[in-house]
């Protein structure tokens, strides 16, 4: 049914959706968070896409720094020293990333993340643009139909992301070494790059462990916490982290870019690594 409203043609909302006739009653700058989110997410997507396909300046051989966008480096195009898990594929065309086995899962892990979903539904889809602001869409099916029903696969990407975080941790541990280019001898070393990699890995673990799926895996489907004290303690810890999940989501976007950018600058010879212990 269509009725006429004083501001023009009025279409009733879809069943189950609130009947808000003004666009919003809010008087604050409600559009600021979705705008900031759109800019932040777009920056990350553009940067990560360009760098993943760049195919250069992703590894510092002397200090064993490997960019997280290239881990694991598994194609014949990779620098052999950067291929910690071996080279599983021949040289790939430019439109396929060297970290072919991890990046699609990491992308899907973030894309289906409960927080990012809220963020990009608001920023790019206006569904809704903000709390108490009417959305432009007349139909609403939530995540009950294809393709959005696939968002429910998030829990499976969580397991893969956990494995990749272990891999990133391994890369970070290797960065506590330095190799003398003259003698080829490897010894313990710490540089600014090591610290940056360490901060990035801590951030990645905080983001991964604060995931809503992790919270469910550790404490979900239990009738009596008292009968599962260990799971209860883990669930309590994960729940505390979970309250900061949005913060970790943004921190890791920043640390991923910073880590890759630093390694790119050192690897290309634009700057030298600041060594703390050689």
Q: Report d(CA 231, CA 237) in Å as an integer.
A: 10
Q: Report d(CA 169, CA 62) in Å as an integer.
A: 19
Candidate list 178, 200, 213, 252; residue touching ligand FES; CB under 6 A: 213
Q: Report d(CA 234, CA 239) in Å as an integer.
A: 8
Number of residues that bind ligand FES (CB under 6 A): 9
Q: Does 245 bind ligand FES (CB under 6 A)?
A: yes
Restricted to residues 193-212, the positions that interact with ligand FES (CB under 6 A) are 211-212
Q: Report d(CA 212, CA 209) in Å as an integer.
A: 8
Restricted to residues 103-142, the positions that interact with ligand FES (CB under 6 A) are 113-115
User: Looking at beta carbons only, is 67 or 210 nearer to ligand FES?
Assistant: 210
User: Looking at beta carbons only, is 190 or 249 nearer to ligand FES?
Assistant: 249
Residue 9: strand pairing partners = 4
**What is the smallest separation between the CB atom of 154 and ligand FES, expressed in angstroms?**
6
Cβ-Cβ contacts under 8 Å for 147 (sequence gap 6 or more): none
**What is the smallest separation between the CB atom of 116 and ligand FES, expressed in angstroms?**
7
**What is the smallest separation between the CB atom of 221 and ligand FES, expressed in angstroms?**
17
Restricted to residues 146-165, the positions that interact with ligand FES (CB under 6 A) are 154, 158
**DSSP sequence for 157-201:** HHHHHHHHHHHHHHHHHHTTEEE-TTT--EEE-EEHHHHHHHHHH
User: Looking at beta carbons only, is 165 or 177 nearer to ligand FES?
Assistant: 165
Q: Which residues contribute to the site for ligand FES (CB under 6 A)?
A: 113-115, 154, 158, 211-213, 245
């Amino acid at each position: 049914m269509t009725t006429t409203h004083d501001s023009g043609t009025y279409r009733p909302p879809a069943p189950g959706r609130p009947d808000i006739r003004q666009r919003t009653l809010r008087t604050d700058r409600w559009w600021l968070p979705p705008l900031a989110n759109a800019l932040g997410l777009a920056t990350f997507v553009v940067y990560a896409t360009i760098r993943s396909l760049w195919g250069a300046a992703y590894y510092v051989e002397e200090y064993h720094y490997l960019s997280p966008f290239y881990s694991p480096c598994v194609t014949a195009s990779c620098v052999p020293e950067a291929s910690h898990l071996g080279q599983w594929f021949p040289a790939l065309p430019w439109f396929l990333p060297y970290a072919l086995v991890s990046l699609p899962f990491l992308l899907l892990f973030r894309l289906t993340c409960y927080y990012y979903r809220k963020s990009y539904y608001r920023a790019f889809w206006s569904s809704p643009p903000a709390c108490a602001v009417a959305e432009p869409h007349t139909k609403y099916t939530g995540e009950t139909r294809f393709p959005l029903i696939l968002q429910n696969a998030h829990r499976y990407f969580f397991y893969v992301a956990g494995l990749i975080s272990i891999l990133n941790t391994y890369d970070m541990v290797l960065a506590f070494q330095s190799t003398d280019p003259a003698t080829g001898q490897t010894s313990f070393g710490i540089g600014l790059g090591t610290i940056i990699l360490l901060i990035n890995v801590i951030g990645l673990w905080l983001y991964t462990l604060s995931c809503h799926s992790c919270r469910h895996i550790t404490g979900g489907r239990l009738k009596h916490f008292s009968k599962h004290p260990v799971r209860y303690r883990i669930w309590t810890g994960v729940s505390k982290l979970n309250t900061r999940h949005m913060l970790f989501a943004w921190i890791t976007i920043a640390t991923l870019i910073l880590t890759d950018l630093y390694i790119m600058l050192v690897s290309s010879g634009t700057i030298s690594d600041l060594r703390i212990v050689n």
